[in-house]
Amino acid sequence: MFSRSSSSITFFFIVSLLAVLINPAISSRASSSFTKHTQHSSIASNCESWRLASETNNAGSWKVVPSRCVNSVKNYITGGQFENDYNIVARYAIAYAKRVKLGGDGKDAWVFDIDETLLSNLEYYKALGYGSEPYDDTKFNEWAVQGKAPAFDASLKLYKALKRLGFTIILLTGRDESQRSVTAKNLRDAGYFGWNRLLLRGKNDQGKTATQYKSEQRSKVVKEGYKIHGSTGDQWSDLQGFAVAARSFKVPNPMYYIA
């Protein structure tokens, strides 16, 4: 048999439930609250799926972060998960690098992209809605020539580890040749030293896709006798094409896409 206390609780529950069902205002508020929670959860889940698709290159070419996903991207970048993800990639890269047998002739190379790989332009993209606004070449160049982009902690650790292991570091960026001095200074100020060469877009490279331009530059390096054991970049166009590395490491960047 139910105790008096159990009966009272059951009676109170039934009365409360009937009140909600009978009173349209209460019922409406409860329904609205549930709907909003469901919608919020659905958007968050959808944006996580979009970010995964974009990072794995399944989303194909895209121009801006979907408006509904801006907060999701912001939280990902500033909430610690981005840093955790980059650290994991760096650890895998270092583990791989330690297994590579170097020839000792200075021809064992590792290629790095620069923007969003070695240097963080987060302050610039934060002001432009974390990738929700179309890329503006003029505005970005105005930011870049200030030379104040900091290093990513994970990329600096990876870079220094590769130097200690004896890899020859080659920097390959989509920046223009006119930005050589400011880019080199920015890299040194951020803690990067001792690279073999810094490759930037020249006059003959203008108008080429990133994939074509970077493939051609890597091909030249290979023809000089270098073996590209590893490559690190935030875009698939940093890593794909021809004359690719024996193993590539894609670091996270949900803010923009470059073909």
Q: What is the pLDDT of residue 142?
A: 95
Domain boundaries in the chain? 5-75, 80-250
Using the structure block, give the residue that is written with the tokens 């070695």: 118
Round to whole Å and give the CA distance between 203 and 182.
18
Which residue, among 224, 172, 169, 233, has the nearest Cα to 195 in the 3D structure?
169
Q: What is the pLDDT of residue 24?
A: 47
Fold of 80-250: Rossmann fold (3.40.50)
pTM recorded for the entire structure: 0.84
Q: What is the pLDDT of residue 41?
A: 64
Burial class (CB in 10 A: 0-12, 13-18, 19+), 240: middle
Length of the chain: 259
Round to whole Å and give the CA distance between 229 and 24.
68
Q: What is the pLDDT of residue 42?
A: 86
Strand partners, 225: none
As averages over each run of 10 residues, the pLDDT of the chain (259 residues) reads: 44 41 43 42 89 95 95 96 98 98 97 98 95 93 96 98 98 97 98 98 96 98 98 98 98 96
